[in-house]
Chain A
Amino acid sequence: MKENKTYVEEGDRSFYDFRYEDKDSYKVASGLTPDIIRQISREKKDPDWMLEFRLRSLDIFAKTEMPNWGPSIEGLNMDNIVTYVRPNTERMHTDWNDVPEDIKNTFERLGIPQSERESLAGVGAQYDSELVYHNVRKEVAEQGVIYTDLESALRGEYADMIRSHFMKLVPPEDHKFAALHGAVWSGGSFVYVPPGADVEIPLQSYFRLNAPGAGQFEHTLIIVDKGARLHFIEGCSAPKYNVANLHAGCVELFVGEDATLRYSTIENWSKNMYNLNTKRAKVEKGGKIEWVSGSFGSHVSYLYPMSVLAGKGARCEFTGVTFAGAGQNLDTGCKVVHNAPDTSSYVNTRSISKSGGISTFRSAVVVNSKAHGSKSSVSCESLMLDSESRSDTIPAMDIRTNKADVGHEAKIGRISDEAVFYLMSRGLSEEEAKALIVSGFAENVSKELPLEYAVEMNNLIRIEMKGAIG
């Protein structure tokens, strides 16, 4: 296969690149047909409406064209992707000790149990397609917070709530991979925070792919009700394979009146991954969505979290960093739609390109005629570490009222030789000096993250920076 060429030279990522033998008990055939969809649906014990939804989505998927404006996804052979891989665990585990040993080792190396013990409210870890470990700290549950896997929630007490929200924000008609997601989605989390609840400790989930050629289509649905607060952290790290891998997840966030949701992600997919993820939030009156987004991994990314500011005074803050190294083409950014009066958006992103990596910042800010008194400010900075790499900035603004203030700033440049010289004069090596400067450049994101994540992110930057010299 040609795709094997996607293997690239990298710095020492061995810490993240480990895997265990594929012992999956069950796989569906490659390629997508209505029969496969029925098989998935039956296996998942979907309610009838979900089966219909999947089949309708498959139909839309077949009819929809590939996007014609982003990085090439020619290396992605849809027929070759096994969309559904079920790990060899029989049921959900709420006790760490019950998790199978090989899966446990994988997570152990990622440090999940420690961080859970120390500061995290719960862990929902998706191993391949099923949620294998799940636990919410008692005090969070006592506040009435629901944090569970989406599939069992579909059949439980919250079934109606899920039905009225599922893929309403990201309909399958949105684009080809949203349709694919609608057809084959599997696993993911459901969080409901009741009115007024303030979840002080962040909830956290980890997703991983482990089977060669497996696609991952998890769905995250979060509803933060009136006046409630939540910080949700999504962390990703996957082993590397030389066959194209696809991630087409979907995140739908509903932020109620005066509610606040912070959604943080450090994405570190292996560098053969096609990450075609769709994330969207709808924010009601006085509510606020805060996106904190770090994109480090994957071969190709299309990632533009979108915020729909639907109620008066709704706010959006987006803070992002993207690091594109060798063999990577990361097309990231965000979209904001101002649909109500007095809404505001604040976007601040950084991107770094190195060793032939391509990073593109692509954004859209739309201020509709109803959005009187709205404000938007977008600022993006790019750093070029060498001339083999590429960094593009493509921001779009569409303003349909004069009762708005919209500002935009973009900068592109390189590491200052003087800064490197200064640090070297204080005893740092050139490599350390540059890594330090790049970490500083990405500080807009790291300072928004809980400490252990900030440390992990700076480690990733250090790993990426190795080999940048000479």
Chain B
Amino acid sequence: MEITVNKPLAETFGWLQAGAKRIDLQDKIQNISYVLGPGESRVLFLEDPGASEYEITLGEGARMDLVQLREASGKVLSYNNVRVKCGDKAYFGWYRVVLGGSESYDNCSVTLAGKESSFSANVCYRLDGTEKYDLNCEAVHTGKRTQSAISASGVLADNASKLMRGTIDFRTGCSGSVGNETEDVLLLSEEVRNQSVPVILCSEEDVVGNHGASIGRPDEDMLFYMETRGVDEETACEMLARAKIDSVIRKIPDELVQEKIRDKIQGKTRSRILGGE
């Protein structure tokens, strides 16, 4: 089945080709929907089923933390589309850990419709070989005094490539809202490709929006410092790479889920880091 994924809210120049993609899905799309009533609270831990679409509706004061892990290796394509609508004072937390898979397409669109609703996205990825990751993350602020924080942090090695479009969209009427987006990408090989398109759209005066990104190799002074203690450059890079993933895992508000994910990662990265655990 062919579908169009990750259509961005704003186009870049035609030549940067950071627009929507048509992909061919091998699997049937699983449609999953969650409705949380007022005051309900849930932490969900899900491993990628392949192709899935989530429809999540959060009532007044409801809280949901969705933790999604993708750790496939080999030629596996994944499509993951999460759409969320937040009511008054509702909160949605998205924790996305991508540890491989030949091609991954993620979309997470959250509409902060209710007043004082909030959204926090914490994405981390580690890609090797020729793995590709295409991520579109949107926070649409329509309610008053809403807050969004999109943070992505990842590591690209070998010939891996990644495209991230993060959009904060302040719609007219969302007065008092705040949106922040940060991106931090560690590049470990000369052959990687990193594309970042951090977008802020704004049609409301009374808002604050910030974006910051830092992309490149590890800081030279930091590497030198680590090397003076006997850690060679490669290991230092791996330690920093792992620290990036761990910084996201640490934020997951459920220690059991944290442990589960660490166990999964362990196998994948043990060989890379001497004496890590």
Contacts and interface: CB of A to CB of B under 8 A. Distances in A.
Interface string B193-231: 111111111111111111111111100000000000000
A397 B205 contact: no
Interface string B219-252: 0000000000000000000000000000000000
Contacts of B195: 396-399
A335 B14 CA distance: 13
A407 B203 contact: no
B13 A396 contact: yes
A364 B205 contact: no
Contacts of B189: 402
B94 to A, nearest CB: 22
A375 to B, nearest CB: 9
Contact of A392 (B18, B185, B199): B199
A143 interface: no
B29 to A, nearest CB: 29
A31 interface: no
A410 B12 contact: no
B1 interface: no
B62 to A, nearest CB: 29
A395 B156 CA distance: 21
A411 B210 contact: yes
B10 A394 contact: yes
B180 to A, nearest CB: 10
Interface in A351-409: 362, 364, 369, 382, 384-387, 389-409
* Central interface residue in A391, A402, A406, by most chain B CB within 10 Å: A402
Contacts of A385: 205
B188 interface: yes
B209 A406 contact: no
A405 B13 CA distance: 23
Contact of A413 (B11, B185, B208): B208
Nearest to A402: B187
Nearest to A69: B11
Binding site of B, secondary structure by majority: helix, strand, loop or mixed? strand
B197 A414 contact: no
Contacts of B193: 398-400
B190 interface: yes
A374 B217 CA distance: 11
A68 interface: yes
Contacts of A304: 13
A450 interface: no
Interface in B136-178: 156, 170, 172-173, 175
A390 B205 CA distance: 8
Binding site of A, secondary structure by majority: helix, strand, loop or mixed? strand
Contact of A394 (B185, B197, B216): B197
A401 B205 contact: no
A394 B204 contact: no
A100 interface: no
A67 interface: yes
Contacts of A402: 156, 187-190, 192, 216-217
A318 B191 CA distance: 28
A407 B197 contact: no
B12 A406 contact: no
B274 interface: no
B211 A397 contact: no
A410 B14 contact: no
B16 interface: yes
Interface residues on B, range: 35 or more
A394 B19 CA distance: 13
A405 B205 contact: no
A179 B210 CA distance: 38
A396 B210 CA distance: 16
A414 B173 CA distance: 15
B190 A411 contact: no
B217 A403 contact: yes
Nearest to A385: B205
A404 B16 CA distance: 19
Given A398-B195, A399-B194, A402-B189, A412 B202 contact: yes
A392 B198 CA distance: 11
Contacts of A407: 212-215
A300 to B, nearest CB: 16
A397 B194 contact: yes
B189 to A, nearest CB: 6
A408 B16 CA distance: 17
Contacts of B207: 384, 412-414
Nearest to B174: A387
Nearest to B204: A387
B13 A362 contact: yes
Given A399-B187, A402-B217, A69 B198 contact: no
Contacts of A387: 172-173, 175, 203-206
* Central interface residue in A67, A362, A384, A394, by most chain B CB within 10 Å: A394
A67 B14 contact: yes
Contacts of B200: 382, 392-393, 410, 412
* Central interface residue in B196, B198, B211, B216, by most chain A CB within 10 Å: B216
B30 to A, nearest CB: 32
A389 B215 contact: no
Contacts of A395: 197-199
A397 B199 CA distance: 11
A364 B202 contact: no
Contact of B214 (A406, A412, A414): A406
Contacts of A386: 205
Contacts of A384: 202, 204-205, 207
B260 to A, nearest CB: 32
B72 to A, nearest CB: 25
Nearest to B218: A402
Contacts of B210: 409-412
A356 B199 CA distance: 20
B202 A382 contact: yes
Given A384-B202, A398-B195, A410-B198, 15 more contacts: A335-B13, A364-B16, A387-B175, A390-B201, A393-B202, A396-B196, A397-B213, A399-B192, A405-B217, A406-B213, A406-B214, A407-B214, A411-B211, A413-B209, A414-B205
6 contacts: A387-B203, A392-B202, A401-B187, A401-B190, A411-B209, A412-B208
Interface of B: 10-14, 16, 18, 156, 170, 172-173, 175, 185, 187-217
Interface of A: 67-69, 304, 335, 362, 364, 369, 382, 384-387, 389-414
Pick the 5 closest A-B CB pairs, nearest first: A402-B187, A69-B11, A412-B209, A410-B211, A405-B216
